Amino acid sequence: MLFPQGATKKTTFKAACETVHDVVIVGGGVAGAIIADELAKAHKSVLILEAGPAEDMTLAGYESYLRRFYGATSKDNQAPYPVNPNAPMPRGPEARKITPGQPATGGYIVQNGPFASDTTYTRVLGGTTMHWEAKVLRMLPEDFHMRSQFGQGVDWPLNYEDLEPYYELAEAEIGVSADVEDQQYLGLKFRKGYEFPMQGLPLSYLDRQVDRGIENTAVTVAGETHSLRVRPFPQGRNGIPNPRYAGGQGFKPVGAVNTAQVEIGERCQGNNNCVPLCPVQAKYHAGKTLAKALKRGGVRLLPQAVAAKVQLRDGRVSHIAVKHYADPASPAFEEGNIRAKVFVLCANAIENARLMLQSDLPSTSGLVGRNLMDHAYLLSWGLMPERCGTMRGTNCTGGIVDLRGGTFRRQQAAFSVDIHNDGWGWATGAPYSDLTLLVDDENEFGCDLRRKLAERVTRQLLLAAMVDVLPSESNRITVDPRYTDALGNLRPVMSYNVPEYTLRGVAYAREFSRLVFQRLGAADHTAYDPEDYGYVTYEGEGYIVRGGNHLAGTHMMGTSPRNSVVNTEQRSWDHDNLYLAGGGSLPTIATANVTLTIAALCYKTASAILRDLS
Amino acid sequence: MKWDKQQAVDVDTNRAGVAMTETMGTSEEKLRYLRTQLHRAMQLEHATIPPYLMALYSLKPGSNLDAQNILRVIVVEEMLHLTLAANLLNAVGGLPDLTVDGFVPRYPAPLPDGETAFTVNLAPFSPDTLETFLKIESPVPPAPDAALRGTRRVLYGALSSGLGSTTDEKRFATIGEFYRDIEATLNQLYEDMGPDRLFTGAVDRQVTSNYYYSGGGELFPVTDIASANRAIQLIVQQGEGYTESVHDAEGEIAHYYRFYQLKVGRYYQRNDPPDGPSGPPLDVDWEAVFPVGKNLSMDDYRHLPEVRHAAAAFNESYGSFLRLLTDAFNGRPQILSEAVPMMFRFRDKFLQLVHYPLPDGRHAAPTFEIGPRRCGP
Residue A437 gets which letter from DSSP? I
Confidence class of residue B287 from pLDDT cuts 50, 70 and 90?
Answer: very high
CA distance B209 to A255: 14
- Nearest Cβ partner for B69 among A59, A243, A252: A59
Summarised one tens digit per residue, pLDDT across range A100-120 is 889 999 999 999 999 999 999
Q: Which of B216, B267, B269 sits opposite A264 (nearest CB)?
A: B216
Q: What is the residue-averaged pLDDT of chain B?
A: 81
Is the Cβ pair A264, B258 closer than 8 Å?
no
Dihedral through CA A395, CA A401, CA A405, CA A409, nearest 10?
-70
Instruction: Tell me the one-letter amino acid at A442.
Output: E
What Å distances lie between residue B328 and A239, A240, B80, B84, B95, CA to CA? 19, 17, 14, 13, 11
For β-strands A110-114 and A490-496, DSSP reports them as: parallel
User: Using an 8 Å Cβ cutoff, are B338 and B324 in contact?
Assistant: yes
Q: How far is Cα A260 from Cα B251, in angstroms, rounded to an integer?
A: 12
Region A184-210: what's the mean pLDDT?
96
When CB atoms are compared, the residue of B66, B70, B215 closest to A255 is B215
Q: Does A55 touch chain B (CB under 8 A)?
A: no
Which pLDDT score is estimated for A565?
98
pLDDT, greater one: B271 or A335: A335
CA–CA separation, A131 vs A274, rounded Å? Answer: 7
Average pLDDT over residues A155-178: 98
Interface subset of A 423-452, CB within 8 angstroms of B: none
Query: Is A264 in contact with B214 (Cβ distance < 8 A)?
Result: yes
Nearest CB partner across the interface for A5, out of B70, B252, B269: B269
Q: Say whether residue B252 is in contact with chain A using an 8 A CB cutoff.
A: yes
For residue B307, give how far its alpha carbon lies from the nearest alpha carbon of chain A (Å): 20
Tell how strand A541-547 and strand A535-538 pair up: antiparallel
**Beta strands, E only, A549-603:** 578-580
A262 chain-B contacts, CB cut-off 8 A: 66, 69-70, 72-73
B138 pLDDT more than 90: no
> Across residues A140-164, what is the average pLDDT?
98
Judged against a pLDDT cut of 60, whether residue B14 lies above it is answered with no
Residues of B in contact with A260 (CB under 8 A): 66, 69, 267, 279-280, 282
**Looking at per-residue confidence, does A585 or B148 come out higher?**
A585
Of A5, A264, A270, the CB nearest to B76: A264
Which residue in chain B has the smallest CA separation from A254? B215
pLDDT (0 to 100) of residue B211: 78
Q: What percent of chain B has pLDDT over 70?
A: 77
Residue B20 has pLDDT above 60, yes or no: no
- A5 contacts in chain B (CB < 8 Å): 269, 279-280
Residue A157: asked if its preceding bond is cis (omega within 30°), the reply is no
Q: Assign A6 a pLDDT band (cuts: 50, 70, 90).
A: confident
Q: What is the DSSP string of B52-65?
A: HHHHHHHBPTTS-H
Q: Do A269 and B340 count as a contact with CB atoms less than 8 A apart?
A: yes
C-alpha distances in Å from residue A308, one per residue of A83, A354, A361, A452, A593? 20, 10, 13, 54, 29
**Pick from A208-222, A365-379, B234-248: least confident:** B234-248
- Between B275 and A192, whose confidence is greater? A192
Q: Per mean pLDDT, which range of A121-125, A177-181, A271-275 is the poorest?
A: A271-275
Share of chain B above pLDDT 90, in %: 49
Is the CB of residue A62 less than 8 Å from the CB of residue A281? yes
pLDDT band at B231 (very low <50, low <70, confident <90, very high): very high
Of A63, A240, A264, the CB nearest to B215: A264
User: In 3D, which of A315, A372, A470 has the Cα closest to residue A112?
Assistant: A372
Q: What is the pLDDT of residues B151-170, one digit of tens each?
A: 333 333 434 434 443 444 55
Residue A252 pLDDT grade (very low, low, confident, very high; cuts 50, 70, 90): confident
How far apart, in whole angstroms, are the C-alpha atoms of residue B377 and residue B367? 24
B 295-334 residues with CB below 8 A of A?
none
Q: Which is nearest to B236 in space by CA: B162, B158, B144, B172?
A: B172
Contact state of B73 with A264 under an 8 Å Cβ cutoff:
yes
Residue range B194-219: average pLDDT? 85
The answer to whether B279 contacts chain A (CB < 8 Å) is: yes
| CB contact at 8 A, A89 and A290 | no
> Is some CB atom of chain A closer than 8 A to the CB atom of B70?
yes
Among B218, B253, B340, beta carbon nearest to A261: B253
* Confidence band, pLDDT 50/70/90 cuts, at residue A570: very high
Number of A/B CB contacts below 8 angstroms equals 60
- Judged against a pLDDT cut of 80, whether residue B48 lies above it is answered with yes
Tell me the pLDDT tens digit for each residue of A24-64.
999 999 999 999 999 999 999 999 999 999 877 777 788 88
Quick check: A5 and B213 CB within 8 A? Answer: no
| pLDDT band per the 50, 70, 90 thresholds, residue B281 | confident
Note whether A5 contacts B: Cβ–Cβ < 8 A. Answer: yes
The full DSSP string for A302-321 is: E-SEEEEEEEEETTEEEEEE
pLDDT at B144: 43
Most confident of A60-69, A184-193, B242-251: A184-193
Give me the percent of chain A exceeding a pLDDT of 90: 90
Contacts for A110-113 with beta carbons within 8 Å, 24 or more apart?
Answer: A110/A480, A110/A483, A110/A491, A110/A492, A110/A493, A110/A494, A111/A493, A111/A494, A111/A496, A112/A493, A112/A494, A112/A495, A112/A496, A113/A495, A113/A496, A113/A497
- Pairwise CB contact (< 8 Å): A262 & B66: yes
- DSSP 8-state secondary structure symbol assigned to residue B369: -
Q: A518 near A461, Cβ under 8 Å?
A: no
pLDDT of B240 reads 64
CB distance from B39 to chain A under 8 Å?
no
Poorest-confidence range of A505-514, B2-11, B50-59? B2-11
* Average confidence score pLDDT of chain A: 95
**pLDDT confidence tier of residue A215, bands split at 50, 70 and 90:** very high
Closest-CA residue of chain B to A253: B213
Mutate to test the interface with A, among B210, B220, B257, B345 (most CBs of A within 10 A): B210
CB nearest to A262's CB, from B69, B218, B344: B69
pLDDT confidence tier of residue B171, bands split at 50, 70 and 90: low
Residue A59 with chain B: CB contacts under 8 Å: 65-66, 69
Which pLDDT score is estimated for B173?
Answer: 65
Residue A321 has pLDDT above 90, yes or no: yes
Amino acid symbol at A327: D
- Chain A residues 557-576 within an 8 A CB cutoff of chain B: none
pLDDT at B133: 92
Report d(CA B373, CA B296) in Å as an integer: 22
Q: Residue A255's pLDDT band (boundaries 50, 70, 90)?
A: confident
Residues 150 to 209 of B: which have CB under 8 A from any A CB?
A: 209
Q: Which pLDDT score, from 0 to 100, does residue B5 have?
A: 36
Q: What is the amino acid identity at position A143? A: D
**Which H helix or E strand runs over B39?**
helix B27-47
Residue A12 has a pLDDT of 93
**pLDDT exceeds cutoff 90 at A545:** yes
d(CA B244, CA A54): 35
Give the distance from residue B8's alpha carbon to the nearest chain A alpha carbon, in angstroms. Answer: 32
Q: Is B168 exposed, middle or buried (0-12, 13-18, 19+ CB in 10 A)?
A: exposed
DSSP three-state, residue A566: strand
In this complex, do B69 and A241 lie within 8 Å of one another by their Cβ atoms? no
Q: What is the DSSP letter of B22?
A: G
End-to-end Cα, chain B, rounded Å: 9
Q: How close does chain B come to A387, measured CA to CA in Å?
A: 19
State whether A263 and B344 contact (CB < 8 Å).
no
Burial label for B360, CB within 10 Å (0-12, 13-18, 19+), is exposed
pLDDT at position A59, please?
Answer: 74
Is B83 a residue whose pLDDT tops 80?
yes
Q: Mind listing the pLDDT tens digit for each residue in A443-464?
A: 999 999 999 999 999 999 999 9
Q: Do A5 and B280 touch (CB under 8 A)?
A: yes
Interchain proximity A269–B344, CB inside 8 Å: yes
Contact A260 B210 (CB under 8 A): no
CB half-sphere exposure, B282, CA atoms < 13 A: 28
Return d(Cα B290, Cα A452) in angstroms, integer: 34
Q: pTM for this structure?
A: 0.89
pLDDT at B15: 38
How many CB atoms sit inside 10 A of residue B179's CB?
25
Residue B16 pLDDT class (50, 70, 90 cuts): very low
Q: Could you give the CA distance from residue A308 to residue A318 in angstroms, rounded to a whole number?
A: 14
CB A455 within 8 A of CB A422: no
Question: Is A261 in contact with B340 (Cβ distance < 8 A)?
Answer: no
Mean pLDDT lowest among A471-480, B77-86, B233-242: B233-242
| B215, B251, B252 ranked by CB distance to A256: nearest | B215
Chain B residues in contact with A288 by the CB 8 A cut-off are: none
Q: Which chain A residues are closer than 8 Å to B76 by Cβ?
A: 264
What share of chain A in percent tops pLDDT 70? 98
pLDDT at B24: 61
Q: Band the pLDDT of A264: cuts 50, 70, 90.
A: low
Q: Do B280 and A67 touch (CB under 8 A)?
A: no
Three-state DSSP at B365 gives coil
Q: DSSP states of B214-259 as a string?
A: ETTEE-----SHHHHHHHHHHHHHHHT-SSSSSB-TTSPBPHHHHH
B73 pLDDT band, cuts 50/70/90, is confident
Q: Is A511 strand, coil or helix?
A: helix
What is the DSSP code string of A398-411?
Answer: EEE-TTSSSGGGGT
**Cross-chain Cβ contact B215/A265 below 8 Å:** yes
Average of per-residue pLDDT across A243-257:
89
Answer yes or no: is pLDDT of B148 > 70.
no
Which of A331 and B149 is assigned the larger pLDDT?
Answer: A331
Give the DSSP letter string of A214-238.
TTT-EEEETTEEEE---EEPPBSB-
Average pLDDT over residues B191-220: 86
| pLDDT at residue A324 is higher than 70 | yes
* Spatial distance between the Cα atoms of B85 and A105, rounded to a whole number of angstroms: 63
The residue among B265, B192, B222 whose CA lies nearest residue B85 is B222
pLDDT attached to residue B244: 64
A377-399 confidence digits (pLDDT tens):
999 999 999 999 999 889 999 99
Task: Report pLDDT for B275.
Answer: 82
